[in-house]
Amino acid sequence: MNGTTGLREHVPLAAFTTLGVGGPARYFIELYSESDLAPALAFAERKRLPVFILGGGSNILVSDEGFRGLVIHVALRGVSSQPAGNHTIITAAAGENWDAIVAAAVSDGLSGIECLSGIPGSVGGTPVQNVGAYGQEVSQSITRVRAFDREENRGVELQASECAFSYRSSIFNTSLQNRFIILSVDFRLHCDGEPAIVYPDLQRMFESRESDATLADVRKAVLNIRAAKGMLIDGSVEDSRSAGSFFRNPVVERTFFERIASEFSESVPGFTLDDGKVKIPAAWLIEKAGFRRGDTRGRAAISRKHSLAIVNLGGATAHEIVSLASQIVERVHQRFGIVLTPEPVMIGFDRQYPV
């Protein structure tokens, strides 16, 4: 491969994912320098190979057959900061570990991403599905994304307004999927050190406190809640071998929500969005469709700590994970008429989503 080194063949991908399943990549390269990108893409073009951009592998499911193209594992490093009035702009390379950026921001008294503590993966992965948790989304802090535009074959800068961020969505996973390779991201963080405590779980934890909660308190609280739900990566905990939430929370029309609510004697959880539609917790739908935490399919299981996560109990195949997911989608559809959409990106499958 002209101008690049380190091309490897038949590289098992499971170890590069948090789920720990999946077959090999036909070709694989670590991207340590932006200048290695064009030759890598040219190689794929010459061989007519599909390209997959891999970050921390925390939101993907690789098929048992693997990926027949070139996997580019983004390992770009570097973080810098610049004052901007009451704010600081943090520029982080796409291959930086996301939680390390959050930890550093919290210890520097910069607010805006503290509730996103403990989310695994890379900086470059965060704009893709507009990562969010506990009342914050990265779209609230991102000002600019630097990327390589595969269509125009050049580096570009996208302002946040051009990224079309919404719930678990952006141009990077919808209209312009596969077009951009994210190189670095700018986050505008506030110097006031005021944490966001808008999520009910967090509000409950802090309501009885006499002193104001600090950024560090909120980070600690979020990490504790995550650990309790198996949503922190911990090699020693079986329930954390997952891709996080396996399904997005569906958003439905209010009339549809009311119809579901009228069928239940208990109150149906729902969060009204700005446009009047209602977001229903997928975990609730899954439980009401008859699934229990710990239900298994081979070595794949619904997490014992959180009904929304599918975990690899050790030795699971992608096929087992997909079978369990498919069963969940089918039963939720039968019960509620709602089609759950998976959050992880499926790689190397024949169909876009094998349900």
Ligand X SMILES: Cc1cc2nc3c(=O)[nH]c(=O)nc-3n(C[C@H](O)[C@H](O)[C@H](O)COP(=O)(O)OP(=O)(O)OC[C@H]3O[C@@H](n4cnc5c(N)ncnc54)[C@H](O)[C@@H]3O)c2cc1C
- 3-state SS of 131-174 is CEECCEEHHHCEEEEEEEECCCCEEEEEEHHHCCCECCECHHHC
Residue 72 within binding range of ligand X, rule CB under 6 A: no
Instruction: Write down the catalytic residue from 26, 150, 168, 219.
Output: 168
Smallest separation, CB 146 to ligand X (Å): 10
Q: Which uninterrupted H or E stretch holds 284?
A: helix 282-288
Of 51-59, 81-89, 196-204, 246-254, the segment contacting ligand X by CB under 6 A is 51-59
The CA distance from 284 to 260, in Å, is: 12
Residue 185 within binding range of ligand X, rule CB under 6 A: no
CA separation, residue 205 to residues 167, 214, 234 (Å): 25, 13, 23
Residue 53 within binding range of ligand X, rule CB under 6 A: yes
Nearest partner of 343 among 334, 328, 335, 333, judged by Cα: 328
Q: Which is nearer to ligand X, 63 or 126 (CB)?
A: 126
Instruction: Write down the catalytic residue from 117, 184, 240, 245.
Output: 245
Q: Kindly state the tokens that stand for 199.
A: 């999520």
Site for ligand X, residues 121 to 160, rule: CB under 6 A: 121-122, 124-126, 128-129, 131-133
Of 80-88, 102-110, 117-125, 290-298, the segment contacting ligand X by CB under 6 A is 117-125
Our answer to whether residue 245 is catalytic in this structure is: yes
Q: What is the total count of residues that contact ligand X (CB under 6 A)?
A: 34
Nearest partner of 29 among 47, 15, 45, 41, judged by Cα: 41
Nearest partner of 97 among 130, 133, 121, judged by Cα: 121
Residue 242 within binding range of ligand X, rule CB under 6 A: yes
Our answer to whether residue 45 is catalytic in this structure is: no
The CA distance from 230 to 225, in Å, is: 9
Our answer to whether residue 293 is catalytic in this structure is: no
Q: Is 227 exposed, middle or buried (0-12, 13-18, 19+ CB in 10 A)?
A: middle
From 176, 181, 289, 340, residue interacting with ligand X (rule: CB under 6 A): 181
Residue 57 within binding range of ligand X, rule CB under 6 A: yes
Smallest separation, CB 69 to ligand X (Å): 12
Residue 74 within binding range of ligand X, rule CB under 6 A: yes
Q: Which is nearer to ligand X, 73 or 87 (CB)?
A: 73
Smallest separation, CB 5 to ligand X (Å): 20
Cβ proximity of 243 and 60 under 8 Å: yes
Cβ proximity of 237 and 16 under 8 Å: no
Residue 18 within binding range of ligand X, rule CB under 6 A: yes
The CA distance from 77 to 247, in Å, is: 31
CA separation, residue 156 to residues 27, 30, 239, 323 (Å): 26, 21, 40, 40
From 21, 37, 110, 119, residue interacting with ligand X (rule: CB under 6 A): 119
The CA distance from 14 to 54, in Å, is: 12
From 233, 285, 310, 324, residue interacting with ligand X (rule: CB under 6 A): 233
Of 48-56, 106-114, 190-198, 286-294, the segment contacting ligand X by CB under 6 A is 48-56
Q: Which is nearer to ligand X, 297 or 305 (CB)?
A: 305
Q: Which is nearer to ligand X, 40 or 60 (CB)?
A: 60
**Sign (positive or negative) of CA dihedral 254, 259, 262, 264:** negative
Smallest separation, CB 133 to ligand X (Å): 4
Q: Which is nearer to ligand X, 85 or 235 (CB)?
A: 235
Q: Provide the annotated active-site residues.
A: 168, 245, 343
Q: Where do contacts with ligand X occur on this chain (CB under 6 A)?
A: 18, 52-60, 74, 94, 119-122, 124-126, 128-129, 131-133, 172, 181-182, 231, 233, 240, 242-244, 345
